[in-house]
Amino acid sequence: MKLFTTLFFQVKKIIKKIIVTQVDTEEKVINDFFKRGQIPWSKGYEIHKEKSIAKALHNVDIIDSIDKLNQSSNYGYRLDERIVEYPWVFKYLENTGSRLLDAGSTFNFKYILDLPQLQKKELTIFTYAPESPNFNEKKISYVYGDLRELPFKNEYFDAIVSQSTIEHIDMDNSIYGYDIEHNKNSEKKSYEYLLAVKEMVRVLKVDGTLLITFPFGKFEHHGFFQQFNDEMLEILIQELNQNGKCETAFFRYLKQGWCSCLQLDCANIKSYNPHTKKGEAEDGAAHCRSICCINFKKN
């Protein structure tokens, strides 16, 4: 018994030491990241981004006021569009029903799935192929396939979230490990995203909510995604308005951070592609510089 007790406390000390070391290392990585000037995608960026998003999603004031984000707030300095998208999504997800579809697997992170806002949701994550990690122990349903052919019955979900996903449809997704036919013409827009949106509307219940976000500004073909412009947005809204009503919100990145804006403010904005360095500038943008968010209610 004495030997067992001794071993127990030794193991406990080792575990505690490991946890403290991990915290110390994480803090050091973030501190070094800030000392280097918060360069997007450099070492420490992902940790800082995750902590920033988690902090925002636990702040009711940020969620409630995200549509009125002021450029003087320095919100999301040198962070990509997720720092705006998640609070916006959770603002309108709050009062929806229990059956939720994540169309694109942007919720498949522990710090997102642990949020209190999701604990009463019956969540299905739909993506093209299995990912690692997954969280089956949280009773998450994982379904795989093409968003243009959803395997769900009509009017099944109370709410659907498609966050920065439809811009990848019919594009070169080999960086995600997918080898499928896609639009290879860099001068040509693809409208295959409309098929996915039609499917999402089909499986959404009457009075259900569909939340969609995507890069918006000047049309650009970046290989693995396309940036929507006014014409592509107009066609999308026309499609949605046949089945309900939608509202739009726009955000743009300035040198000091993210702010809400008008559609016309985004007209000529270009994205930064961190994989090719196309669109890199001195503003420190991490990825897309402007996004459109659509809140659709089905009739």
Please indicate, yes or no, if residue 7 is contained in any of the structural domains.
no
Provide the token pair at 78: 């040198």
Element at 275 (helix H, strand E): none
How far is the C-alpha of 181 from the C-alpha of 178, rounded, in Å?
A: 10
Region 106-112: mean pLDDT is 97
Looking at the structure of the chain, the number of domains it has is 1
Nearest-Å Rg of the Cα atoms of the chain is: 21
Type of residue numbered 68: K
129 vs 23 pLDDT, higher one: 129
Is the pLDDT assigned to residue 9 strictly greater than 50? no
Question: Is 22 contained in some domain?
Answer: no
pLDDT at 11: 47
Residue range 69-94, pLDDT digits in tens: 998 889 999 999 999 999 999 999 98
Give one word for 155, left, alpha or beta, with left for phi > 0 and alpha for psi -120 to 50: left
Higher pLDDT among residues 228 and 13, named by residue: 228
- Summarised one tens digit per residue, pLDDT across range 154-210 is 999 999 999 999 999 999 878 676 667 777 767 799 999 999 999 999 999 999 999
Q: In a 10 Å sphere around its CB, with 0-12 CB exposed, 13-18 middle and 19+ buried, how is residue 60 labelled? A: exposed
Q: Residue 253 falls within a domain, yes or no?
A: yes
Which 3-state string (H, E, C) describes 146-163? CCCCCCCCCCCEEEEEEE
pLDDT of residue 1: 53
Please tell me the predicted confidence (pLDDT) of residue 176: 73
The pLDDT-based confidence of 4 (bands split at 50, 70, 90) is very low
Residue type at position 217: G
Q: Is residue 243 part of a domain?
A: yes
Omega prior to 133 cis, within 30 of 0:
yes
Query: 274 lies in which domain range?
Result: 36-298
| Joined tokens for residue 223 | 């290989």
If you average pLDDT over residues 9-37, what whole number do you get?
69
**pTM, full prediction:** 0.90
149 alpha carbon, distance to own chain's centre? 21
Mean pLDDT for the stretch of residues 231-252: 98
Q: Is the distance from CB of 99 to CB of 158 less than 8 angstroms?
A: yes
**Is position 155 within any domain?**
yes
| pLDDT tens per residue, range 275-287 | 999 999 999 999 9
- Helix crossing, 193-202 with 230-241: angle to 10°? 20
* DSSP at 185: -
State the CATH number of the domain containing residue 45.
Answer: 3.40.50.150
Res 130: pLDDT:
92
- Is residue 226 included in any domain, yes or no? yes
The answer to whether residue 30 sits within a structural domain is no
pLDDT above 70 coverage of the chain, percent: 90
Q: Considering the domain boundaries, does residue 21 fall inside one?
A: no
pLDDT score of 73: 87
3-state helix vs strand vs coil in the chain, percent to 5: 40, 20, 40
